[in-house]
Each structure stands twice: as C-alpha cells, then as structure tokens.
C-alpha cells in the first residue's frame, strides 16, 4: 500500500503525498480549482438554459433514492428535472419532490416507446441506477438506455451492478460511472482489498480501457477521465457514510452535466460541493446525526461559499 492509497482511503491527512503540478496526471480538487466553474446566471436566461435532467431511479422500498436524486439536482440549479419511476413509488416521489416532473410506468409491462419519448427524448442528460435494486427487468432497461441514448449517461448503484463490461464496448455517448469500492470491485470481478491497493492506477486504467469517466467514491473520492487524469477530492467527512449520500451525489453530477459545464469540470465540481455540503452539515448537526437529506439542505450554502 503506497502513500497515495493512505491519503485516498482517509488514513492520513498529508495531502502532499500527491504530486500536484502541471506535469502530473494526478491532482487534488480544492476550492481554487473549481471556484470559477459555476457562472453567474444571465439576466435573460430561462429554465431551458439550465438543462433538462432525467432520472430513472428508485424502486419499491427505495423511493427515497429517486427523491434524493431529484431534489439534489433541483438544488444544484437544473432548469427542469424529471423522474421516470415505477407506479409502485410514483405517489411518494411525486409528493416529495414538488418541483420535479414525474412520469410513472408499469414495471410488469414497460413500453420502450414511452421510455424513449418520456425519458430519452426529454433529457439533456440521463442518470439511472440509484435505488433500482428492486425493479423488474432493470437490466433490459439499462441496456436499452445505453443502446438508444446519445446524451451523457450517469450510471450509479444497481446500474453498475447490472452493467456487463461488454455493454461498454463502442458506446457512442459519454458515460459516467459512480461506484463505491464494493461496486468497483464487482465490476473488476475482484474483492475490495484488491481495489484498495494502487487505487489511482486501477481507477485510471479502467477509465481509459472502457472510455468512461469514473467517480470512485470513498473517504476521498477520485474523479478519473479516459485521458488518464485523476483528481482527488479534498472535502467530505465520515458523517457522509450514511444511506443515500451517493444518491445525492448522482443528482448533483447529472445537474451540472445538464448545465453544460465541461464534463470533467462538472464531475470535480460536483464531488467537491457534495463534500463541502456534508462538511457544513457536519458543523451544524454533527457527524453522528448527518443524514443524506442534510447534504441537500446545506448544498445552497456550499454553492454560495464556493462562488463567492
Ligand atoms: N432511501 C433509499 O431509497 C436508499 C436506497 N439505496 C439503494 O440501495 C441499494 C443497495 O444499497 P446497499 O447499501 O444494500 O448495497 P451497496 O452495494 O451500496 O453496498 C454493499 C456493501 O458495500 C460496502 N461499501 C460501500 N462503500 C464502501 C467502501 N468505500 N469501501 C468498502 N466497502 C464499501 C457497504 O458497506 C455494503 O456492505 C442501492 O441501489 C442504493 O442506491 C441506498 O442508497 C440507501 C438509501
Ligand atoms: N468516510 C467518508 N468520508 C467522506 N465521504 C464519505 C465517507 N464515507 C462515505 N462518503 C461519501 O458518501 C457517499 C456514499 O455513497 P454510496 O456508498 O453510494 O451510498 P448510498 O448507496 O447509500 O447512496 C460517497 O459520495 C462517499 O464519497
């Protein structure tokens, strides 16, 4: 295990184990790096300016994953946010995210033309997988989206579990995968201890080989791009090790991609703000009591502190 690994795994705070500089392909993400990524809104802008974000997420017993996706995207500045959800959770999602559009589908009898019209044609960016573990036929849905959508896809949680690496061959759109270490290990068909050694090499190799953007979530989340660059985040705290924190991140990521921020900047910004909102939450409610909804609650303060 090298010093990079210790820093990334949160075993040390000595960030200078990472070489930061123009010639290095490994960098930290700090305030100075991302502060200019969010621009002041043009006076004559309208909701269409800020992106249409579609989520296919949640399932029976996991309605909250979709609600967290939607509300995180709305609080990150998206103009239009839509949840394409199974009818078993429709009422919950519709009532817990008033500003989002919702469309319900019948899991037993899904119409792919509805999926195409209501999600794929609607969205500038699509995020899927959060809380989809109890959805029937989710693998077919995921395959259909990867084959049919040309816009950027953000694939989380069950989407990563159901992903077969062959599905990543010759994909035409940008794909962002957001695994935690357990999910990344599954993708590689290895165990977590394998992933925790030489983390950056494994993450960048994967990103390059499959031509995907990778957000490898952990104590210090790494963002990797296919060109081989890796960015280690510097915000966040162990209070964020709580159910649904990752669903919030997926909502933020999709939102900033939908706002047409250059993709790698959008990913670094999202991860930084998610951690910062968690840090502000920690200083208000403490790391024991922090819940995922608090990350959304403190996101406005995180954004305002960042762009000031
Ligand atoms: N309110 C909701 O609707 C929620 C829905 N959720 C959904 O629930 C589904 C399943 O979540 P589960 O938690 O059962 O399964 P996961 O696949 O998320 O986790 C499996 C295991 O991996 C471990 N793990 C996570 N991060 C790790 C790291 N950095 N290093 C090592 N091990 C790590 C976890 O402790 C856990 O034991 C997902 O689809 C998820 O989106 C969760 O997000 C929780 C909240
Ligand atoms: N110890 C920690 N320090 C900082 N951030 C953490 C820590 N533990 C978890 N997180 C963050 O919380 C989120 C958890 O995501 P995930 O495991 O997908 O949770 P869930 O599936 O419950 O939504 C990730 O963004 C991760 O970086």
Q: Rounded distance, CA 272 to CA 141, Å?
A: 31
- The number of beta carbons lying within 10 Å of the beta carbon of residue 305 is 16
What values do phi and psi take at 241, rounded to 5?
-80, 75
Specify the range with the lowest mean pLDDT, choosing from 22-26, 231-235, 236-240. Answer: 22-26
For residue 217, say whether it is annotated as part of any ligand binding site.
yes
Is there an atom of ligand 1 within 6 Å of 243 CB?
A: yes
**Contact at 8 Å (CB) between 251 and 73?**
yes
Q: What is the mean pLDDT of residues 245-251?
A: 98
Q: Rounded distance, CA 48 to CA 134, Å?
A: 33
The b-or-e profile of 135-153 (16+ CB within 10 A means b, else e) is: beebbebbebbbeebeebb
Residue-level pLDDT at 14: 74
Residue nearest to atom 19 of ligand 2 (CA): 246
Is there an atom of ligand 1 within 6 Å of 236 CB?
A: no
Residue-level pLDDT at 17: 67
Q: How confident is the model at residue 20 (pLDDT cuts 50, 70, 90)?
A: low
Would you say residue 16 has pLDDT above 80? no
For residue 203 the two structure tokens come to 């993450």
Is there an atom of ligand 1 within 6 Å of 244 CB?
A: yes
For residue 220, say whether it is annotated as part of any ligand binding site.
yes
Residue-level pLDDT at 184: 98
Is there an atom of ligand 1 within 6 Å of 247 CB?
A: yes
**Contact at 8 Å (CB) between 279 and 236?**
yes
Is there an atom of ligand 2 within 6 Å of 287 CB?
A: no
SS3 5: helix
Query: What percentage of the chain exceeds 90 in pLDDT?
Result: 92
For residue 218, say whether it is annotated as part of any ligand binding site.
yes
Is residue 13 exposed (0-12), middle (13-18) or buried (19+ Cβ within 10 Å)?
Answer: exposed
Nearest ligand to the CA of 10 is 2
Query: What is the whole-number distance in angstroms between the Cα of residue 162 and the centre of ligand 1?
Result: 14
Residue-level pLDDT at 19: 59
Q: What is the mean pLDDT of residues 268-279?
A: 98
Q: Structural domain tally of the chain?
A: 1
Q: Residue 23 sits in which domain range?
A: 3-307
Three-point CA angle 37, 101, 94, nearest 5°: 120
Query: What is the whole-number distance in angstroms between the Cα of residue 218 and the centre of ligand 2?
Result: 6
**100 or 22: which leads in pLDDT:** 100
Q: Rounded distance, CA 276 to CA 303, Å?
A: 9
Query: What is the whole-number distance in angstroms between the Cα of residue 69 and the centre of ligand 1?
Result: 15
Is there an atom of ligand 1 within 6 Å of 130 CB?
A: yes
Residue-level pLDDT at 4: 85
Would you say residue 2 has pLDDT above 70? no
Query: What is the whole-number distance in angstroms between the Cα of residue 22 and the centre of ligand 1?
Result: 36
- The ipTM (two decimal places) reads 0.95
Three-point CA angle 49, 174, 191, nearest 5°: 130
Query: What percentage of the chain exceeds 70 in pLDDT?
Result: 96
Is there an atom of ligand 2 within 6 Å of 72 CB?
A: no
| CATH code of the domain containing 26 | 3.40.1190.20
For 86-143, what is each residue's pLDDT tens digit?
999 999 999 999 999 999 999 989 999 999 999 999 999 999 999 999 999 999 999 9
Would you say residue 15 has pLDDT above 90? no
- The number of beta carbons lying within 10 Å of the beta carbon of residue 14 is 10
DSSP code per residue over 232-282: EE----GGG-STTHHHHHHHHHHHHHHTT--HHHHHHHHHHHHHHHHHHHH
For residue 228, say whether it is annotated as part of any ligand binding site.
no
Q: Which residues pair with 83 in a beta bridge?
A: 55, 102
Contacts of 211 (CB under 8 A, 6+ apart): 168, 171, 175, 226
């Amino acid at each position: 295990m090298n010093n990079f690994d210790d820093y990334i795994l949160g075993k040390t705070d000595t960030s200078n184990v990472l070489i930061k500089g123009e010639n290095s392909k490994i960098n930290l993400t700090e305030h100075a790096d991302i502060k200019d990524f969010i621009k002041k809104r043009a006076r004559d802008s309208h909701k269409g300016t800020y992106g249409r974000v579609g989520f296919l997420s949640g399932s029976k017993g996991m309605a909250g994953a979709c609600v967290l996706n939607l509300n995180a995207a709305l609080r990150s500045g998206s103009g239009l946010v839509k949840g394409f959800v199974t009818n078993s959770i429709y009422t919950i999602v519709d009532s817990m995210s008033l500003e989002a559009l919702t469309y319900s589908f019948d899991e037993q009898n899904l119409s792919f033309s509805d999926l195409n019209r209501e999600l794929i044609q609607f969205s500038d960016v699509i995020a899927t997988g959060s809380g989809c573990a109890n959805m029937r036929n989710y693998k077919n849905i995921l395959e259909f989206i990867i084959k049919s959508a040309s816009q950027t896809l953000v694939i989380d949680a069950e989407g990563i579990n159901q992903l077969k690496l062959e599905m990543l061959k010759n994909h035409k759109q940008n794909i962002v995968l957001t695994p935690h270490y357990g999910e990344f290990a599954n993708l590689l068909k290895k165990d977590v201890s394998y992933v925790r050694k030489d983390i950056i090499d494994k993450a960048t190799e994967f990103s390059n080989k499959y031509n995907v953007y990778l957000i490898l979530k952990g104590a210090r989340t790494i963002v990797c791009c296919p060109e081989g660059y890796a960015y280690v985040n510097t915000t966040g705290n162990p209070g964020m090790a709580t159910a649904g924190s990752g669903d919030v991140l997926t909502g933020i990521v999709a939102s900033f991609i939908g706002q047409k921020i250059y993709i790698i900047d959008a990913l670094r910004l999202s991860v930084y703000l998610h951690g910062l909102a968690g840090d502000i939450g920690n200083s208000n409610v403490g790391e024991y009591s922090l819940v995922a909804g608090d990350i959304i609650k403190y996101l406005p303060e995180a954004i305002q502190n960042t762009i000031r």
